[in-house]
Each structure stands twice: as C-alpha cells, then as structure tokens.
Structure 1
Amino acid sequence: MTFDNNAAMGYTIIAMEQLGYDSIEIQRVINRMYRIFDSVSVEKAKDKYNKSNY
C-alpha cells in the first residue's frame, strides 16, 4: 500500500474525534495538514516522526 494523504487525514480526524476535539479544531488541523502536504516531503515528515518522542 502506498502513502495516501486522504488516509492520513482520516486517521487524524478519527484520533481527534476520539480525544474529544470539536469540529472547528479538527478543521483547523486538517487545513494545516493540506498546507504541510504541499510543503514537506514524505521523507522529511517520516524523519520528523521517527526522531520525535511520540
């Protein structure tokens, strides 16, 4: 399976809903993710996650 932006958005929405975020907060995060997808490579994003404490 290849990387898919829509799947990443779906995972994000599911996680935020389960944590109790409201629709305005979720929309803000989704809007930011659209911009990040356009400006950050998959490799850079993966490296950011791999080096994080999360």
Structure 2
Amino acid sequence: MNFKLTHIPKRPEKPREKGLTMVMDKGLSLRQAEDLISSSKEQIDLLKLGFGT
C-alpha cells in the first residue's frame, strides 16, 4: 500500500510542548520494539511498553 503525501508539515524540535506523538505497545517482541525506536525516534515523543516487552 503506497500513499503519495504531498504536504507533511515540519515538526518542531524536541522537546515538544504541542503535537506530541504517543505510541502504545500491545505485544511487540524486543526486536520489534528496538526496530520501532530506531526507525521512528525523531517522530515519537512517548513510547509505552507493555505486555512482556
């Protein structure tokens, strides 16, 4: 599935006070959690790990 996004606004630098992005883990493996963080660390502001990770 490919999407052509024509306009993505630039995000403010961290630490952000508005427009925070939170991700909640619902059962990622340790490797999947590491991959998520390494590939998306610039976009994610808060990551809640749960369910055994």
TM range (shorter): 0.3 to 0.5
Normalising to structure 1: TM-score of the pair? 0.35
In terms of fraction of residues, the more strand-rich structure is 2
Q: Which has the larger radius of gyration?
A: 2
